[in-house]
Amino acid sequence: MDDELLNTRETGKYLKRPAGTLSQWRYLGRGPAYIRVGREVRYRKSDLDAWLEANRIEPEAVSA
| Banded pLDDT at 60 (limits 50, 70, 90) | confident
- pLDDT tens by residue, 15-59: 999 999 999 999 999 999 999 999 999 999 999 999 999 999 988
| Banded pLDDT at 64 (limits 50, 70, 90) | low
Mean pLDDT of 4-10: 96
CA 35/CA 37 separation, integer angstroms: 6
CA distances from 59 to 25, 32, 36, 40, 56 (A): 25, 23, 35, 37, 10
Q: What is the pTM of this model?
A: 0.83
pLDDT of residue 21: 96
The residue extents of the domains of the chain are 5-54
Query: Are 26 and 43 contacting, i.e. CB atoms less than 8 angstroms apart?
Result: no
